[in-house]
Every structure is written in structure tokens, then in C-alpha cells.
Chain A
Amino acid sequence: MASKGIRDRVAIVGMGCTKFGEHWDKGAEDLLVDAAYQACESAGLTPDDIDAYWLGTMGSGISGLTLSEPLKIQYKPVTRVENMCATGSEALRQACYAVACGAFDVAMAIGVEKLKDSGFSGLVVTNPPNDGTPAAMTPPALFSLLAPAYFKKYGLDPDKGKDVLSRIAWKNHRNGARNPKAQFQKEVPIETIKNSPKIADPLGIMDCSGVSDGSAAAIVVRAEDAHKYCKNPIFIKALSFVAGPAEGPLSPEYDFTSFPEVVASARDAYAQAGISNAREQISLAEVHDCFTPTELVLYEDLGFSPRGTAWQDVIDGFFDLEGRLPVNPDGGLKSFGHPIGASGLRMMYEMWLQLRGEAGQRQVSNPKLGLTHNLGGQPGRCVSFVSVVGNSMG
């Protein structure tokens, strides 16, 4: 593996996250300033103490000015990054490398998305001028391709498969109900999820993540400096980001029951972090549950469940808050909401709380290592990010 990693060389010393949801009274600038100040305050810093910024947004602004203008940043580098739904994680990764290499002492990664101003339902993406041939599929339809393929491959009757998917949404809502910053803070009965109006069969509206506004931010420093800013920092064990060759729509060998990009980024991240058995060693995970079949397939791609068995783990409650490996304890994209550019940093925000014992009524007992997984694109054609973080060095 070519990537060498920066295990234990960078620490997160402050984080902030706005409530996610329908912020009719706030623009991207309000959300950014709010998240940036929260992060600074949690590290005992002011924006003047930050040496460089990485701003992730898919479509709520262009260039570093999107951040420097509202925050009144005093002539410092602000880099705007975009990597589809993994944009927030990409901002974090760049900020970590910047401090690890010594170019800066203190960097901020911040992500934002303001989705509710578009006037349309669901996510709207503007394509460059084209020849009119790319399939105009909506994100739920693209991810729904996983469901019949997975059910057929592992002999799951579609009704049973639908139960499994519904249980994933049920779990994430149950977790989100314990999170004051989540978009939907309500448990939802499994029957309501199962019978929700169809969006892309077999997916109903309740299999889809929340369309949301929000922002989240992290402040990173070199690990040796971490205790100058913070009593209990969290440490970066692994950062992996891969873009695939988009083979899925081209090659009959791809069977729509896996994200090869996720498999590759997980393998890379586990090598960086020295993890040999993710199912046993990871204490908790935030994964990219844009739609329920995504989360199902991710369990297997991340090595949490052997191939073809994730559905059984779902039924057994393995990934529940009280289960052996809680996944999306903060409610996930499903219940916390999915403001694209902010989501990767929102996942890290949950690690920040959980690994420091600050997650309140959803606190996982005694976590050591947490994983975040963030992807952008579609099955067979995507980018994938995996991080591993821990609350101690070594």
C-alpha cells in the first residue's frame, strides 16, 4: 500500500457543529460562523489563532471567500475543497496533512451546506454542459440498485430484505432521538418506516437521509502540541481517501453488492492504524448511511460483518447503540441530516464527543477507537473516505 499514513501525528483539539435541519432563518454564512466559533471556543482559541483553513462545500459557495468573508479572516490561506458527499472529510484530511508536514501549526477544517434554499425536493446537482446521454437518475434510485442485487445474491426474500433495511432506519432514528443536534429527534416505529411512500423501490422516503442545512468544524494541531490546547484531544490514527475508476457502470464483473472504493479505503486505513480485525477492534463507527441499503453493504465492505451476513447482524442488533459495535450512534445521515459538505465533519464531531465521554444519553461505554466513513457518488462509481481516531496515543 502506497499510503504511509500519519498515525498519531495529528490531533483534533476543538470541534463545533450546528444543529442540522431546516434553517429557514440562516444562510451558509450564519452556519459557518456559528460552527467556526464553536470549534474555536472548544479549543480556547479565536479565529486569529488559526493559521490556515480548509472549507468543504459542494455547492453553497465557491472559493475561500465563502468562509473568509463572513468570518473576516485576516489574509490567511482558505482552500475550498469538493469531493461530492465526502467533501467534509476531504477538508479534514487536507488540514491534517498541512499541520503534519509542519507548514502550519493550527488548521481548521470546516464544512457547510445550505440545501433547503433550492426550492426542490431532494439533492440537486448541476452538471457541466454535456451531450445529454448521462443517465438522469436521482440519488435514491442510484443507491436502490444495491437492494435487489444484494437480496438476490444472498437469497433474501424481498420482504425480509425490506425488514432489514427498515431496521437500519429504525436504529438510526432511535439514536437520533437521543441527539439534541439531530434534524429528526424522534423514534419512528418500524412499521411506519416500512410503509413510508415509495421513492425508489424498495426504498421509501424513510430509507433516505434527511435533506438538511448545517455546518461542522474541527481544529487540528500536531499531536505533540495537542495538550497545549486541550485536556483530552482525539488522535488521528488513519486517513484514507480513494477515487475509483468508475468500473461499476462499465464492467459486468461488478455485482452491486459492494463498494470496491470502500473496501480499498478501509484496507488502507486499517493498515495505517494497525487494525487487523475491525469487527473486534473498532468501538463505534459513523458510516455513510445516505440510504439504508448503503449502510447494509458498508457493514461488509468495512469488515464489520463477513460477506452475506450483515443482514443477520442487523436483525441481531449488533450495530444498535447497546450492541457490540454501535454504528451511527448520533443518528447518522438518516436522522442527523445530510448537509453534504458538513457531513464528514459531523461524523468526526460524534467521535469527538464519544471518545471524550461527552455523548450524554447515547454515550457508548468506554470507547477506544472510532471509525468514520464518508462516500460520494454512486455504487460502482464513487469516492470513499475512511478515518480511524482514538482517545490515546499508541
Chain B
Amino acid sequence: MTGIVSYGSYIPYRRLKRAAIAEVLGVAATKGERAVASFDEDSVSMAAEAARDAVRAVGAEQIRTLLFATSTPPYAEKLNAAIVAAAARLPIESRAADLTGSVRAGLSALLQAADAAAGGGAPALAVMSDCRLGAPEGRLEQASGDGAAAFVLAAGEGVIAEIVASASFTREFLDTWRMPEERFGHSWEERFALTQAYVPLLGKAIQSVLEKSGVAPAALARVILDAPNPRAAEEVARGMKLGPAQLGDTLALTVGQAGAAHPGLMLTAALPSLKPGDLVLLAAVADGADALVLRVTPAAAKFRPAHSVGRMIESKGDVSYGNYLKWRQILPTEPPRRPDPERPAAPPMMRSEKWKFGLVGSRCTACGTPQLPPQLVCVKCRTRGKMEAYPFADRTGRIATYAVDRLAYSLNPPTVNAVVDYDGGGRFLCEMTDCEPDRVAIGDEVEMTFRRLFTADGVHNYFWKARPKR
């Protein structure tokens, strides 16, 4: 039996109301709101958040394959998956690849991870994440959302959703495209792809996977369909004569369509409500189609994600359209009269890989004091060289004191910094994110989150921040 053994998901804290876009631009508003990656997030940082939750149940050291799917990679050249692997503290003995160029990459990653797990025996991690950027006034700007999902796939025990069968179809056609140097994509007239590609390809993939698995549409407990044009999914669902109970929440009103992450995000949203034995059809179309039938196992009843999709939908704060435009650097602003941040240097970054990317500090084995960053001489007993690695990423803490910095360089001033005292020991002075500066208080509970602090000279500087516990 090969299938999903654990999963994680991530929806950024900020929401942009579609009416707020419409109000500024004078265009028609669609309903609801979309999730927005904060100024310090991108597809890699969100992938790291989902991946950390996914590997927690399995143990990061078990993973031997990482596939990172996104249509918005922060680096065009340089392995983005390696950053996700470092943040999730995956072992160095692993295969890793970026799957990009199409939102179809999400299900491709899931299926290839399943193949890797089935063939090699070791668990494989598929992470799908996207930070979709639509040009102002376009459909994509309102309809899309940002988010990530991650799945650990393995063969044998512990599978919570078994892959019963899969089917994939690939055809060459032109609907959505973007050149490497372009920020915003282009689309062909929508009736063409809807009628000639999306509906037929999605239908074909579904028909094929249902035949392979010997399952009738009526026997499916849940059907999760995703298409660049949601009308394609609706049309296919009508053709299958599915009941409303079989179709789950598309997250369109709360998150928006999260590109490569969307099919995975819908699956992680659905899984907690499914019972052992339930059959799930997961199918997505974009530059081709992929479909899977999954069977929920008894092991699913025991699995609880650290941050459920439902919880992350509820945990939110608004962003104004003006700030959104600044965060995405669609709206240029006057630089502050402070020096630009300096790019981090490669040798120190490699020396401190476990600290910088994994938030691994040290613990003195002579006196037991946890400390971060990792120290050479113990801050407490001053013993030299008796440190062991001590990870802080999954620890919560409380604010001892804080500062609201209105002078520091930031895309989202003011910068809030907090002195965090961790449960179990250790203190760290770091930046806060996803918080409302006037509501931060001494004693607040915080958790750690992997972020992109800034980009300087084309180098993304990733590190950790504290955020109010979600």
C-alpha cells in the first residue's frame, strides 16, 4: 500500500478583500477575500511552513526525496527545494528537485513522490506552494490566492490515504503563459481552452482513473476538482452527476485559487472530515490533467495536523490593497533614508546552515541550558565545547519585551522586534511578523515561522521570525 502518511498546509495570515481591490481600481468586485503572502513570504517560505508540519509526524530524518512544486520559484537558477529541505531539517542524504513552469506541477509532485516512495521504500515529501501574481484589474488578481500544502508519501504502515489509482494526460496547447523575465502572465481567449482542453482533458483523466480503480462516481465520498478556469471543474462535476455533499469547499471565497498548491490545499482541507474507507477523487487540469483515487484508511482517525486549514482560514488579518501593491512591489515607493540591507554572504550562510535555515541552536550538556544562536562557550556555566544541537523551530515562547521600530528598513513598517523566551529554555531577540503592532504585549505567546527577510543584490535572505500563535 502506497499513499499519504502525513500532511501539512499553510495559508498566510493576511487577507485582501476583493471589494477593496474593486474600490480602488473601479472594477467589478467578486465575492469574498483572498489569502495574501505577507511582504516577507514567498513560495519557498510558505512551502517550508507546510513541510515542517508534514514531516513532524514522520520524523524529518526519514525523508529521502523532496519534490517542490511551484509556478513562482524565488530563484530561476539555484535549487529552491534545497532551502525548503534546510528549513524542514531534512537529511543531507536526499534527492531534491524543483517542479515548475506550470501550476500542474502540484499534482505531478504528489504522484512522483508516490512513485519514489513505492520504488525506493523511503518516505518522500511533496510540497506544493504558490504566490500567484496577477496584474491589477485582471481576473487572476482577484481569483488567485497564496498558500502551500505538503504530503509525506510512503509505502507500508501508517498510510492514512492510500493511492488506489492514478491517470495522467499531456497535450500541447496555448492558454496561459509567461516569459522568464515577465512578472505577469498572458491568457488566450477563455472559451478556447475551456471547451477544447480543460473540460475534455479533465474528463478523460477522471474516466481513466475511475476505470482503473473500478469506482463509480456515486461511490465517491469526496470529489476535489481544480482547473485554471473554475467553469471547467463545474462542467465536469455536472457531467458526473455529483451531489452537493460530494463536492467540498473550493476555498474560492476564503483563500483563492492557490496555483500549484491548490489541489493539495483542497485535499488537506477535506481529509480531517473523511472517514476510514471513504474514496476521494482528486483531479486537476492545467497544461494536461492528473487524477488520483484515494482511499482513507483507519490510520487517518489518529492523524491531526499541527495547523488545520480550517484554523488557518480563521486566523487572519486584513491587508489594504495599497499595502498589497507595495508588498508585491507593483507600486514603487520612495526608499527610506537608511542604507539598503546588505546581501548575506555565502560562506557564513553555509557555515551556519543549520542555524540560519533550521533554527537549530545549542544546548550545553554540562548544565542543560538551551541557547540560540548556537554558542561555543555556555552562557550559563561557561563550559567550552560541550554543546549539542537543539532545535527551536517547533517551540513556542512568550514575549519578554519588545520594540516597535519605525526607522528600520521594511516593506511593511513599523518593524516589531521581540525578545522571546522559549518554553523549555532559551531566549532570542528576533523580528515579529503577522502581528498588529499596537496589540503586541509582554507575555504574548508566539511561535516561529520561516520567512524571507529581504532580498539584496538578487540574494533572498531567509531566516526565522516569531508570530502570534495561530
Known A-B contacts A148-B402, A256-B401; the reply to A122 vs B338 at CB < 8 A is yes
Q: Which of B404, B421, B430 is the one whose CB lies under 8 Å from A144?
A: B404
Chain A residues positioned under 8 Å from B86 (CB to CB): none
On whether the beta carbons of A132 and B415 are closer than 8 Å, the reply is: no
Chain B residues positioned under 8 Å from A145 (CB to CB): 401-403, 417, 419
**Complex: A255 Cα to B400 Cα, angstroms:** 8
Name the interface residues of B401-446: CB closer than 8 Å to any CB of A. 401-409, 414-415, 417, 419, 421, 425-431, 437, 442
Name the interface residues of A86-124: CB closer than 8 Å to any CB of B. 119-122, 124
Q: Which of A141, A148, A252, A254 is the one whose CB lies under 8 Å from B408?
A: A141
Chain B residues positioned under 8 Å from A277 (CB to CB): none
**CB of B375 within 8 Å of the partner chain:** yes
On whether the beta carbons of B348 and A130 are closer than 8 Å, the reply is: yes
**Complex: A237 Cα to B375 Cα, angstroms:** 38
Chain A residues positioned under 8 Å from B406 (CB to CB): 198-201
* Distance (whole angstroms) from the CB of B465 to the closest CB of chain A: 10
Counting chain A CB atoms within 10 Å of each CB, the highest count among B337, B338, B453 belongs to B338
On whether the beta carbons of B401 and A136 are closer than 8 Å, the reply is: no
* Distance (whole angstroms) from the CB of B296 to the closest CB of chain A: 42
On whether the beta carbons of A121 and B337 are closer than 8 Å, the reply is: yes
**Complex: A200 Cα to B401 Cα, angstroms:** 13
**Complex: A145 Cα to B399 Cα, angstroms:** 11
**Complex: A136 Cα to B336 Cα, angstroms:** 15
Chain B residues positioned under 8 Å from A135 (CB to CB): 417, 429-431
Q: Among the listed stretches A186-194, A243-251, A266-274, A327-335, which one makes contact with chain B, having 4 or more residues with CB under 8 Å of it?
A: A243-251
**CB of A129 within 8 Å of the partner chain:** yes
**Complex: A130 Cα to B356 Cα, angstroms:** 11
Q: Which of A120, A251, A254 is the one whose CB lies under 8 Å from B339?
A: A120
Q: Which of A144, A198, A200, A256 is the one whose CB lies under 8 Å from B400?
A: A256
Can you name the residue of chain B whose Cβ is closest to the Cβ of A249? B429
Can you name the residue of chain B whose Cβ is closest to the Cβ of A122? B407
**Complex: A98 Cα to B188 Cα, angstroms:** 81
On whether the beta carbons of A132 and B356 are closer than 8 Å, the reply is: yes
**Complex: A154 Cα to B92 Cα, angstroms:** 50
On whether the beta carbons of A199 and B342 are closer than 8 Å, the reply is: no
Known A-B contacts A121-B337, A121-B338, A144-B404; the reply to A132 vs B351 at CB < 8 A is no
* Distance (whole angstroms) from the CB of A180 to the closest CB of chain B: 30
Chain B residues positioned under 8 Å from A129 (CB to CB): 342, 345, 347-348
Can you name the residue of chain A whose Cβ is closest to the Cβ of B408? A138
**CB of A160 within 8 Å of the partner chain:** no
Chain A residues positioned under 8 Å from B339 (CB to CB): 120, 124
Chain A residues positioned under 8 Å from B401 (CB to CB): 145-146, 148-149, 256
Chain A residues positioned under 8 Å from B462 (CB to CB): 132
Known A-B contacts A119-B337, A129-B348, A255-B400; the reply to A152 vs B407 at CB < 8 A is no
**Complex: A311 Cα to B359 Cα, angstroms:** 39
**CB of A142 within 8 Å of the partner chain:** yes
On whether the beta carbons of B403 and A142 are closer than 8 Å, the reply is: yes
On whether the beta carbons of A252 and B421 are closer than 8 Å, the reply is: yes
* Distance (whole angstroms) from the CB of B370 to the closest CB of chain A: 10
Chain B residues positioned under 8 Å from A136 (CB to CB): 341, 408-409, 453
**CB of A137 within 8 Å of the partner chain:** yes
- Tell me the dominant secondary structure on chain B's binding face: mixed
Mask, B88-107, CB within 8 Å of A = 1, is 00000000000000000000
Chain A residues positioned under 8 Å from B347 (CB to CB): 129
- Tell me the dominant secondary structure on chain A's binding face: loop
Chain B residues positioned under 8 Å from A138 (CB to CB): 338, 405, 407-408
**Complex: A120 Cα to B375 Cα, angstroms:** 34
**CB of B379 within 8 Å of the partner chain:** yes
**CB of B368 within 8 Å of the partner chain:** no
* Distance (whole angstroms) from the CB of A222 to the closest CB of chain B: 39
**CB of A127 within 8 Å of the partner chain:** yes
On whether the beta carbons of A251 and B415 are closer than 8 Å, the reply is: no
On whether the beta carbons of A131 and B338 are closer than 8 Å, the reply is: no
**CB of B355 within 8 Å of the partner chain:** yes
Can you name the residue of chain B whose Cβ is closest to the Cβ of A254? B427
**Complex: A341 Cα to B200 Cα, angstroms:** 75
On whether the beta carbons of B442 and A137 are closer than 8 Å, the reply is: no
On whether the beta carbons of A200 and B405 are closer than 8 Å, the reply is: yes
**CB of B352 within 8 Å of the partner chain:** yes
* Distance (whole angstroms) from the CB of B382 to the closest CB of chain A: 8
**CB of A133 within 8 Å of the partner chain:** yes
* Distance (whole angstroms) from the CB of A248 to the closest CB of chain B: 8
**Complex: A247 Cα to B379 Cα, angstroms:** 7
**Complex: A247 Cα to B463 Cα, angstroms:** 22
**CB of A161 within 8 Å of the partner chain:** no
**CB of B461 within 8 Å of the partner chain:** yes
**CB of B32 within 8 Å of the partner chain:** no
On whether the beta carbons of A148 and B338 are closer than 8 Å, the reply is: no
On whether the beta carbons of A131 and B351 are closer than 8 Å, the reply is: yes
Mask, B364-383, CB within 8 Å of A = 1, is 00000001110100011000
**CB of B349 within 8 Å of the partner chain:** yes
Chain A residues positioned under 8 Å from B341 (CB to CB): 136
On whether the beta carbons of A133 and B356 are closer than 8 Å, the reply is: yes
* Distance (whole angstroms) from the CB of B171 to the closest CB of chain A: 44
Known A-B contacts A121-B337, A129-B345, A256-B401; the reply to A137 vs B408 at CB < 8 A is yes
On whether the beta carbons of A141 and B404 are closer than 8 Å, the reply is: yes
**Complex: A133 Cα to B380 Cα, angstroms:** 23
**CB of A233 within 8 Å of the partner chain:** no
On whether the beta carbons of A131 and B404 are closer than 8 Å, the reply is: no
Chain B residues positioned under 8 Å from A121 (CB to CB): 337-338, 407
Counting chain A CB atoms within 10 Å of each CB, the highest count among B371, B379, B403 belongs to B403
On whether the beta carbons of B442 and A131 are closer than 8 Å, the reply is: no
Chain A residues positioned under 8 Å from B404 (CB to CB): 141, 144, 198, 200-201
CB<8 Å pairs between A and B, sample of 15: A121-B337, A124-B338, A131-B345, A132-B344, A132-B356, A132-B463, A138-B408, A140-B405, A141-B404, A199-B406, A200-B405, A201-B437, A245-B379, A251-B427, A256-B419
Could you tell me which A residues sit within 8 Å of B by CB distance? Answer: 119-122, 124, 127, 129-133, 135-138, 140-142, 144-146, 148-149, 152, 198-201, 245, 247, 249-252, 254-256
> A129-B348, A251-B379 are known contacts; what are 19 more A-B pairs with Cβ within 8 Å?
A120-B338, A122-B338, A129-B347, A131-B345, A132-B453, A137-B417, A140-B407, A141-B415, A145-B417, A149-B442, A200-B406, A201-B406, A201-B414, A249-B427, A249-B428, A249-B429, A250-B379, A250-B427, A251-B380
- 6 smallest beta-carbon distances between A and B, as pairs: A132-B344, A141-B405, A129-B345, A131-B348, A201-B404, A132-B461
